[in-house]
Structure 1
Amino acid sequence: MLLLMAAILLLVTALFAGLWWHEKRSNADARELSAGAVRELTREGLLGRGQTLSSQLADAATNPMYYMDLATLGELARATLRQPDVVYVIIHDADGQVVHDGSGDIPAFGQPMSDPMAFEALNADGVHAQWSSKLLDVAAPIRIGGQRIGGVRVGLSRDNATARERDVLEPLAQRLQAASNEHLVGLLLLLGCLVLLGLGATALLQRRIVQPITGLAEAAARIEQGRYAEVDVHSDRRDEIGELVRAFARMSEAVARHDRDIRRMAYTDSLTGLANRLAFRESLDERLLTMQASSGELALLFVDLDDFKRVNDTLGHEAGDDVLGQLAMRIRLAVERIGGNTAEIARFGGDEFIVLYLAEDIRSASGRLAEELIEEIQRPLLLHGRQVFLGASVGITLFPFDATSAGQLLKNADIAMYQAKLAGKGCYRFYSKAMDQAVERRVRLEEELRGAWERGELSVHYQPIFRLADGRLMGAEALCRWDHPRLGVVPPSVFIEVAEQSGLIEALGRNVLQQACRDAASWSQPGQEKPFVSVNISPRQLRTGDLPDVVASALRATGLLAEQLHLELTETAVLGDEVQASALLSRLRATGVKVWLDDFGTGFSGLSHLRRVPVDGVKIDRSFVADVLRDPDDLALTSAIIAMAHSLGITVVAEGIEAEGQYEVLRERGCDQGQGFWLGRPMPAPEILRNFAE
């Protein structure tokens, strides 16, 4: 009997040991499955965020990187640095040298990246991720037209992800351990039970613990695959396993919500609520596949705000964001009113919007939509109690007539928009094949213009300016000339516009100012009134705000007296931001430098503005002088300008005097000075010097 009892006890003990081992294995499997699932989820989540951030930053930095716009690159880097878990942002050029890291003074600017991950990041063809024990480094190239011009790197800390893993896994382990201990007590109480009770306990354990944990592991696998809709875990149990299931359900909902938030961030413009570039590109690809299958037609409208930078420069970036928000709402309402529910709108970046539009007779319909958009944008905006006026230029390209791929359509629309800008802004243009050639010529001309001054191709000529009362030579206007070795003489109207749009005008303007001051310093003759030189200043030079310092530096370097320098600014450039312009011009005039308004009478301002803008002279536009002998209205307007300017103590200069009759009429009306081909054509520096010496 004892042997039988011992055998039974041994059998029950073996059964207990087997059940206990099975439970331990199940708990271990559950912990491993859950830990692996949670770890993979957090890793994939962090990787997905890193890839999204680096791709968005690379797309947004393309144009600023091409133009080396450090201010915009800094804004993009700092915006990315503000994202959760981001510890560093590096924007580099194609050689791996740092262009911006989001800091204020960019201490690493121009230095090569030397960290262990730099080599793979620099040589990656696409988005490339590298892991270390503490960091995730995600790199993405910046390309224009297939050519790599640089790249971005975003470093994300793994600390938060590791902490989230620990926060999820520690309670899981504790609950599993608690459940295991509870069952151990139960099993100890059942040591005296029969084998059938032990088998029943084993079956109960399998059903109550292993199956729920297996269900959680299967749900974790679905979450890992992104199949959130298929995850359905719930439990009415009030024990630890029920708590575990409910905790897992809450975690699943949180992960799914986080995924939705990431997708919304990746596909939505946070400022306007419109689709962003990435979402629009995917939508466009889908539409094109549908159109190609159904032989449909669509239009792509590229909307770019005119002179939006002036809003940011004068009112601040917060005001600029407010303006973009209001205009985005206007664009959306206009598109819904004209285009219905089939149209799609996206903010393409900065002050650029893009509209995908489907309609019958697509060419005329898209033209009407463009007119409506321009009209809506031109309506005044109320901002901080003041009215703001903006315009828009729209480029339109049509599928399948102009192109069949998304990339080419976007390029065509951008080219057409640029042509609308060249046409005077506030209008729209349809893409045509000829535009490609025009853009290519402009790009080549811009490339040739870079370094043209250093190569000696650019020079300064001078057109004499005479006092009309006695015909005395008083000074000369400095005019830039470009003699290209292959293209020949390039008209100023062509290359000055290219310089303005590319930003080269600032360096070119400084060089012309320095050269003009240096030449004019040699014109003075003993016993004679000191002659002056007038230099044209571009609107872009005026907007930078450092014009007084540039002028002062040129005067110091050349020894020219301040009163011998006249600066010519167009009427529209001065009045575009009257407050800032008045402040700058007042600083210049305080040093003795004279300020003239060029092309006076062609702007929208009117003579009343002369009382508020500090100027010393106005130059009557040549269009009035040309018809002063034939058109009584031009003669009357010219006389009125002279009289009004004299009443304000302002000197009047007439441009474009090409006949003796014009000279006589202007002298009779009291015009102070004049210039034109009849008086003297532009000439090189040595020739104008001889004229002053005579």
Structure 2
Amino acid sequence: MKLPVKLGLRVELLLIMCGVMLVIAALVAALWLHEKASSRDARELSASAMRELAREGLLGRGQTLSSQLADAATNPLYYLDLAKLGELARATLRQPDVVYVVIHDAEGQVVHDGSGDIPAFGQPMSDPMAYEALNAEGVHGQWSDKLLDVASPIRIGGERIGGVRVGLSRESANRREQEMLEPLAERLQAASNEHLGWILALMAALVAMGVSAMGLLQRRIVTPISGLAEAAARIEQGRYADVKVSSDRQDEIGELVRAFARMSESVARHDRDIRRMAYTDSLTGLSNRLAFREALDDRLLTLQASSGELALLFVDLDDFKRVNDTLGHEAGDEVLGQLSMRIRMAVERLGGVGAEIARFGGDEFIVLFMAEDIRASSGHLAESLIEEIQRPLVLRGRQVFLGASVGITLFPFDASSAGQLLKNADIAMYQAKVAGKGCYRFYSKAMDQAVERRVQLEEELRGAWERGELSLHYQPIYRLADRRLMGAEALCRWQHPRLGVVPPSVFIEVAEQSGLIESLGRHVLVQACQDAAAWSQPGMEPPFVSVNISPRQLRTGDLPDVVASALAATGVLPKQLHLELTETAVLGDEVQASALLSRLRATGVKVWLDDFGTGFSGLSHLRRVPVDGVKIDRSFVADVLRDPDDLALTSAIIAMAHSLGITVVAEGIEAEGQYEVLRERGCDQGQGFWLGRPMPASEMQRRFRE
């Protein structure tokens, strides 16, 4: 890339001066050209006027000669007196500028031309001007380059008996015109030269004025501004002590110099404050992202020269959003302030000489750590940080418990650049989150591959429904009292063209994290309603279909509208649609969830609480959250035959749900004994491999027909 050329103010003024001179020169040239054009126009107008006068004079003489000759030749032509006609013609030929004389009869035949033997006698006139001359009703003149032909008819008693033509030469007229124009041209040229002299003198005066003005600008403006520019360069370099500008002038330039001096003092005074604000996190007093990145770049340059090692620890608080949502953002800020002090103390306690700690944003902290055995030392530091953060915090008289996930990357083993190290630490922290939170993970190449696979899976999941790769299977749900088929749960399946069957546990999580679950949930809801509408049999209770709703779909707030649209588009009855939500999805925002579920139930749609018993809610929440049914998690059903505690909990759930008028559905029935125990305890409905495996919609329809 070519850098732009830097021009000084002196050069710019010189260029402006040159530009002005060029403009003046162009104006002078335009004025001179205009003068020349005016002189040329004057000569042409004069020549045209003189030429017109000469033409009029010659035409007047020709008309007079022709008319006189016609009048004199009337009787001789009538009596064909050739002698008289010859005398008249020769008399006319002797007139100045007359070239020829022709006397002709009514048919245009020559009678006399002033010659002695009249060689053209009796011959018709054949020259180009003969036609108009013969047909002229009065005196008629015709022009050629060298001649003027003037014709006059000869009449007796109104009858045309012939005519005369007189030809006059234009040479003498042209010569007289040239003689008159020459003095005029000389006078015009002299005037033009005089004007040119004045123009050149004016231009020289303008150039002198421009040079004087430039010198004045150089001394009064350019030099002071150049001094200010040099002072500004020193300020830019941080050399505030070298900035010394002053002026005694009492004009605007003097005021500018003095204002600049005051400004440089103010900049020097505030530079320290600005740097402190730019490189420090105002909430915790730690370095911010910008300061940490610069420190990391400097440290890497030093270590690359000395072959040193360092660790980068990315610390992310677990469930910090819960503090902001429940106690408010001010309490969250207080938590961050206390935890930053704990992190700093933990690093100092483990001998973090030269360690850098920064708040990277939100609830994220990052630690740059150096030690002898860098892997073991950084792992020990991560454990200490997690322990410190997990200790309870006292906040407004309440104890608050938090955790942290830590990702660790090592230089130079994992990467050599700052950007790559930060990325690696973030990936390792994410893997610690996936591993269950409250732990730390070292970065490895396999993590990159896992992240890449997840990104690729997300890209391929987009449009998978439109490509026909995603489909619905249905697991039948039976009434346990008489083992009657009541409905089915819709389960999404992905048949990938290259990977084969992708487990729902894999792609549903990707859809949740990427936001694709919203559009995918709409497709599933509409398709399930369409299939349920086809299952209905005349004279029988219409079967239901249950559809799982993700927490993200619930948080958007438009779930009732989406459900209403699906019901209207498919014609399925509202009571045939059961929506399944997990405890954690409902309890994330119990107030909003209760309002949305109330709206849904008001339309006739049933709401079931899925995986009941595995969350933190307990049965008490069933009184506050409007649901129609609960699904006992398969982990309880699996051990009802072996574990008395699971049997007791399952029986309690059934009894308490029935006391609240809530339907109970058992998941994961895989043996006849489980079925019998649940039926005896009064469980309403159940599903599982023993009752029926997931199947396509067509097979499900056949089951309902049977």
Please report how far the alpha carbon of residue 413 of structure 1 lies from its aligned counterpart in structure 2 after TM superposition.
Answer: 0.9
In the superposition, relative to structure 1, how do residues 551 and 494 fare at CA in structure 2: closer, same or farther (>3 Å)? same
Decide whether the 8 Å contact of 1:34 with 1:220 is kept in 2: no
Q: Distance in 1 between matches of 2:407 and 2:495?
A: 34
Please report how far the alpha carbon of residue 287 of structure 1 lies from its aligned counterpart in structure 2 after TM superposition.
Answer: 1.2
Please report how far the alpha carbon of residue 356 of structure 1 lies from its aligned counterpart in structure 2 after TM superposition.
Answer: 1.4
Q: Which of 243, 260, 275 lines up with 1:231 in the alignment? A: 243
Matches within 5 A, 1:620-635: 620-635=632-647
| Matching of residue 685 in structure 1 with residue 700 in structure 2 | no
Residue identity opposite 1:352 in structure 2: E
Q: Distance in 1 between matches of 2:605 and 2:391?
A: 39
Please report how far the alpha carbon of residue 316 of structure 1 lies from its aligned counterpart in structure 2 after TM superposition.
Answer: 7.8
Please report how far the alpha carbon of residue 597 of structure 1 lies from its aligned counterpart in structure 2 after TM superposition.
Answer: 1.4
| Matching of residue 553 in structure 1 with residue 599 in structure 2 | no
Q: Which of 629, 654, 677 lines up with 1:617 in the alignment? A: 629
| Matching of residue 479 in structure 1 with residue 491 in structure 2 | yes
State which drifts further: 241-250 or 544-553.
241-250
Residue identity opposite 2:379 in structure 1: G
Decide whether the 8 Å contact of 2:407 with 2:426 is kept in 1: yes
Q: Which of 560, 571, 574 lines up with 2:586 in the alignment? A: 574
Please report how far the alpha carbon of residue 433 of structure 1 lies from its aligned counterpart in structure 2 after TM superposition.
Answer: 1.9
Q: Which of 386, 390, 394 lines up with 2:406 in the alignment? A: 394
In the superposition, relative to structure 1, how do residues 32 and 445 fare at CA in structure 2: closer, same or farther (>3 Å)? same
Match of 1:671 in 2: 683
SS in 2 for 1:671: coil
In the superposition, relative to structure 1, how do residues 426 and 557 fare at CA in structure 2: closer, same or farther (>3 Å)? farther
Deviations 1:232-257 (A, max 9, x none): 56899999999987644321122335
Match of 1:507 in 2: 519
Q: Which of 493, 497, 502 lines up with 1:490 in the alignment? A: 502
| Matching of residue 602 in structure 1 with residue 617 in structure 2 | no
* Count of aligned pairs between the two proteins: 495
Q: Distance in 2 between matches of 1:548 and 1:334?
A: 50
SS in 1 for 2:595: helix
In the superposition, relative to structure 1, how do residues 239 and 440 fare at CA in structure 2: closer, same or farther (>3 Å)? closer
Please report how far the alpha carbon of residue 630 of structure 1 lies from its aligned counterpart in structure 2 after TM superposition.
Answer: 1.2
In the superposition, relative to structure 1, how do residues 277 and 430 fare at CA in structure 2: closer, same or farther (>3 Å)? same
Decide whether the 8 Å contact of 1:572 with 1:603 is kept in 2: yes
Residue identity opposite 2:688 in structure 1: G
SS in 1 for 2:587: helix
Q: Distance in 1 between matches of 2:344 and 2:459?
A: 38
Q: Distance in 2 between matches of 1:577 and 1:380?
A: 24
Deviations 1:268-327 (A, max 9, x none): 445655433332222111112222333333211122344556677788878776765665
Q: Distance in 2 between matches of 1:486 and 1:496?
A: 18
**Which structure is larger by alpha-carbon Rg, 1 or 2?**
2
SS in 2 for 1:483: strand
In the superposition, relative to structure 1, how do residues 618 and 289 fare at CA in structure 2: closer, same or farther (>3 Å)? same
Q: Distance in 1 between matches of 2:455 and 2:253?
A: 69
| Matching of residue 354 in structure 1 with residue 370 in structure 2 | no
Decide whether the 8 Å contact of 1:339 with 1:357 is kept in 2: no
In the superposition, relative to structure 1, how do residues 508 and 380 fare at CA in structure 2: closer, same or farther (>3 Å)? farther
SS in 2 for 1:522: helix
In the superposition, relative to structure 1, how do residues 318 and 521 fare at CA in structure 2: closer, same or farther (>3 Å)? farther
Residue identity opposite 1:667 in structure 2: R
Deviations 1:636-673 (A, max 9, x none): 11112111211222111111111101100111111111
Q: Distance in 2 between matches of 1:479 and 1:389?
A: 37
In the superposition, relative to structure 1, how do residues 548 and 351 fare at CA in structure 2: closer, same or farther (>3 Å)? farther
Q: Distance in 2 between matches of 1:339 and 1:549?
A: 59
Match of 2:303 in 1: 291
In the superposition, relative to structure 1, how do residues 573 and 519 fare at CA in structure 2: closer, same or farther (>3 Å)? same
Identity, in percent, stands at 87
Match of 2:435 in 1: 423
Deviations 1:100-123 (A, max 9, x none): xxxxxxxxxxxxxxxxxxxxxxxx
Q: Which of 637, 641, 648 lines up with 2:649 in the alignment? A: 637
Q: Distance in 2 between matches of 1:424 and 1:632?
A: 29
| Matching of residue 457 in structure 1 with residue 469 in structure 2 | yes
Q: Distance in 1 between matches of 2:569 and 2:338?
A: 48
SS in 2 for 1:551: helix
SS in 1 for 2:312: strand
Residue identity opposite 1:549 in structure 2: D
In the superposition, relative to structure 1, how do residues 334 and 500 fare at CA in structure 2: closer, same or farther (>3 Å)? farther
Q: Distance in 2 between matches of 1:585 and 1:388?
A: 31
Match of 1:654 in 2: 666
Residue identity opposite 2:222 in structure 1: E
Q: Distance in 2 between matches of 1:316 and 1:548?
A: 29
SS in 2 for 1:657: coil
In the superposition, relative to structure 1, how do residues 221 and 535 fare at CA in structure 2: closer, same or farther (>3 Å)? closer
Deviations 1:69-120 (A, max 9, x none): xxxxxxxxxxxxxxxxxxxxxxxxxxxxxxxxxxxxxxxxxxxxxxxxxxxx
Q: Which of 267, 288, 292 lines up with 1:255 in the alignment? A: 267
Q: Distance in 2 between matches of 1:460 and 1:491?
A: 13
> Which segments of 5 or more consecutive residues in structure 1 lack a partner in the other structure?
1-21, 39-216
Q: Distance in 1 between matches of 2:227 and 2:559?
A: 62
Q: Distance in 2 between matches of 1:391 and 1:37?
A: 59
SS in 2 for 1:342: coil
Q: Distance in 2 between matches of 1:237 and 1:272?
A: 50
TM-score by length of 1: 0.64
Residue identity opposite 2:511 in structure 1: A
Decide whether the 8 Å contact of 1:222 with 1:228 is kept in 2: yes
Residue identity opposite 2:430 in structure 1: Y
Q: Distance in 2 between matches of 1:312 and 1:511?
A: 34
Match of 1:32 in 2: 222
In the superposition, relative to structure 1, how do residues 224 and 405 fare at CA in structure 2: closer, same or farther (>3 Å)? closer
In the superposition, relative to structure 1, how do residues 500 and 362 fare at CA in structure 2: closer, same or farther (>3 Å)? same
Deviations 1:186-218 (A, max 9, x none): xxxxxxxxxxxxxxxxxxxxxxxxxxxxxxx75
| Matching of residue 520 in structure 1 with residue 532 in structure 2 | yes
In the superposition, relative to structure 1, how do residues 530 and 315 fare at CA in structure 2: closer, same or farther (>3 Å)? farther
Q: Which of 515, 532, 536 lines up with 2:548 in the alignment? A: 536
Decide whether the 8 Å contact of 1:297 with 1:362 is kept in 2: yes
Q: Distance in 2 between matches of 1:242 and 1:449?
A: 70
